[in-house]
Amino acid sequence: MDQIRYLAQIPKCINALCNVGGLEVRVAATQTVSLHPHFASTDSIWYQNWSNLSVVSLHQPSVDSGVLSEEIFKMSEDHNYRDKSFTLRDGIKVPAIGLGTYRVNNYDIVYETMNNALARGYRLFDTAAIYGNEEHLGRALRELLPQHNLQREDVFITTKLAPSVNNKSVRRAFNRSLTNLGLDYLDMYLINFPGYAKQNPKGALNKKRREETWLAIVKLYDEGKVNAVGVSNFTLKHLRELTDVMAIGPMVNQIEYHPYYVDTELMQYCLQNNILVQAYNSFGGLSLRNNDLMEDPVVKKIANKHEVTNSQVLLAWALQRGVAVIPKSVTPEHMEENIMINLKLTERQMLSLDALAVKNKKYSWDPIHIA
């Protein structure tokens, strides 16, 4: 699988940057490149040039961060993302497109969905303890992998620690998920939410429990029981609490992310600290009916221009911004659309979608009030 993640591609070698402001950077007073919108600021710019690729960023990353390696920033010419992956800082490769399984609970539906997904090239499957479908997912995989000539190592399984779990019970919850899934290791384990059940969201105990929970998860990682560890729904504040003080910080932050909702500061922090952002709710709300994002005139205009679906435009936008996606679908046609993306949006189209963030509309739970 190729790796995809970038800030900006510049076709020629560039010697200087100047007149930084807004979304554009004037280069040598003659050439203009677009600055990644997650870094739209007049702050200092860091610049790096390779033989065929140049990158601009607000800050120079640490030498060992690996964020700006040439390998990570490579992109294929055809922009077919089905077989692409992101490389985490520990070398683990995460498929760029996965399948979300929230509210897919009936075994027959799980089986049929997994069968269709595997046939279409899906290799990452995202679940959580609170989804209540781990056992169904594991059973379906055991039956289906041989039918598709696949081994366990050919798929990437993510599950999440439930908010109801006491930090002292992390190992027990992890082992329960392993048993439910019928696995002897996990590809990725995430903290589902920064708050805890039956806990005052404003209480100081949330921070203490997050830190203790994270230490327990890192121990599982150190023992080789899980290949990658991360969080979900963490704000910048929550993320900093772990990355600033822990020896091993989150490798992934799974969050709501789409043109109507972009947390610029959080995205900037994740990129600077080599934390992969994995998006859910890429199409807006859970229901596609009367969905204002899917029906937004800007989205529809771009889709018509490329003769693709609205959902493909939204996924391509996220992928071109260096964000992994896990769209949910149980419909074969939609599953096909979501993974067979062979589309490159123009810079103007990308910026027109970026501009929709002024709506600042979230469709899912908001962790901003969790202390």
- Exactly one of 131, 189, 196, 260 is catalytic; which is it? 131
Distance from the Cα of residue 139 to its chain's centroid = 26
261 belongs to the catalytic site: no
Whole-angstrom Cα distance, residue 62 to residue 368? 28
What tokens were used for 214?
Answer: 């994270």
208 Cβ contact partners less than 8 Å away, ≥ 6 residues apart: none
Whole-angstrom Cα distance, residue 204 to residue 158? 29
Q: For residues 342 and 308, is the Cβ–Cβ distance under 8 A? A: no
242 Cβ contact partners less than 8 Å away, ≥ 6 residues apart: 210, 211, 214, 231, 234, 249, 250
**Length of the chain counted residue by residue:** 371
Distance from the Cα of residue 33 to its chain's centroid = 25
What tokens were used for 149?
Answer: 């000539």
Whole-angstrom Cα distance, residue 209 to residue 196? 8
Residues marked active site are found at: 131
